[in-house]
A and B are shown apart, each in its own frame.
Chain A
């Protein structure tokens, strides 16, 4: 049997690019505005990227589509309408990853600021591994509060080798050098101490939260104090998913680990040590009141999510009407 079909001639740069997109990338990509640049047409391409979020307690899946522009570009010869250059599949994938990273970073930044607020009562002391990197902050605060009147001179502080961490507490205004060049608590620290019912350890926890909120990037990227990173990643992964969903969701431990892999480029199958560590990490996040537990599922805190909700409006994302399914 022979069938006759009438097809469009690929006689415009847009059609040429669209055809190649369908052949090599898929219907998620789309050509954007064609630009005339001398001998060539430049056609940037965008991508619609679906992302699924599941609430495992109710078995409800919602599919959201992220819309990212300029994930690559085609150059089409003007004379012959042949494609001179085009992005590789991996280039597009990396561009999508980068754009997603921007969304994740926004959530991460705001999340740290929110959980750093002492009013939320996050217990940083239970994040055992995280304490390794910020012990000097912890010790400085407890020492200042417990040994009143015997404040260390600048020379002593500088001799211990953690001056940059002490400087972070000075920067947020909780300690200062007095006229005699001794490190002393400010009224802000004294107020916080009073609010914590005179508990030096709780005050120190609050200070760690405040330092993190203001200086996480410095601690992680400049000082390479990485001990907080797994906690921040797991929390960000949960709240990014919840933010897309538009409400608190319920996840299993395994699913949360998958989400961390989705938002951070970490190994698809972590080492055995890391997998054991994950359970401990989740338990500590639950104890610290950053995440919560409900009917054996991991969920979040409404006040934290509320603080992040403003990001949702700016997310380059839409939800198809058919996307919600209770399985």
Chain B
């Protein structure tokens, strides 16, 4: 399980800057050799300031993912951020296997109440046989939260399996695009 050293509390649309802060604190601890301007001590006021400075990017409709890049750049954080719509949950596993925490957007109202609602950001840090383990700022102070795999996949699918990958610039990604329709030659009867 990936251990996020910093846990923060957030409500409403602030779940995104909260998740970004927690992931950055993780990289600060695990990659100390990068050019960091933030202190190693995650309890220092700079980290609180870092979290709070993210609020200015939060709009009435949420925090655009393009703003995350600006947010990191404005504070000289040596990390890259990218929005991806994963093809399946195995992709999360691939990243967890190399100790990359992933911010996922899933429909939390669906998970908690069974009805479609607002997309919510949380950090996936592990997977067990039956659950995905997340660190969720909305559940502070009990941030570590296990979500049954089946429900998570449904709630994640509602948000188009969106994920934000924040990682050091040294990690490169090769993307393979999977079409939503089966290519005719591979389909059972040759017809889509």
Please list the residues of chain A having a beta carbon within 8 angstroms of any beta carbon in chain B.
1-12, 15, 18-19, 22-30, 47-50, 52, 61, 63, 65, 67, 89, 92-93, 96, 318, 320-323, 325
Contact = CB atoms under 8 A, between A and B. Distances in A.
Nearest to A93: B60
B180 interface: yes
A323 to B, nearest CB: 7
Contacts of A322: 112, 138-139
B interface, how many residues as a size bin?
35 or more
Given A4-B174, A12-B180, A19 B13 contact: no
B91 A11 contact: no
A89 B11 contact: no
Contact of B95 (A3, A27, A52, A325): A3
Contacts of A24: 64, 66
Nearest to B92: A5
Interface of B is mostly: mixed
Given A22-B162, A50-B118, A65-B117, A7 B178 contact: yes
Given A7-B91, A30-B119, 8 more contacts: A3-B100, A5-B176, A19-B83, A27-B105, A29-B61, A93-B61, A320-B109, A321-B112
Nearest to B14: A50
A49 B16 CA distance: 15
Given A27-B118, A27-B121, A3 B94 contact: yes
Nearest to A322: B138
B172 A28 contact: no
B172 A1 contact: yes
Contacts of A96: 60-61
A49 B171 contact: no
Nearest to A6: B87
A50 B87 CA distance: 29
A218 B162 CA distance: 50
A47 B12 CA distance: 13
B120 interface: yes
Given A3-B98, A6-B86, A63 B62 contact: no
Contacts of B59: 25-26, 28, 89, 93
B33 interface: no
B16 A26 contact: yes
Contacts of A23: 64-66, 83
Contact of A25 (B11, B64, B83, B159): B64
B160 interface: yes
Contacts of A65: 109, 117-118
A26 B113 CA distance: 22
Given A3-B173, A92-B61, A320-B117, A27 B159 contact: yes
Contacts of A9: 177-180
Nearest to A19: B85
B56 interface: no
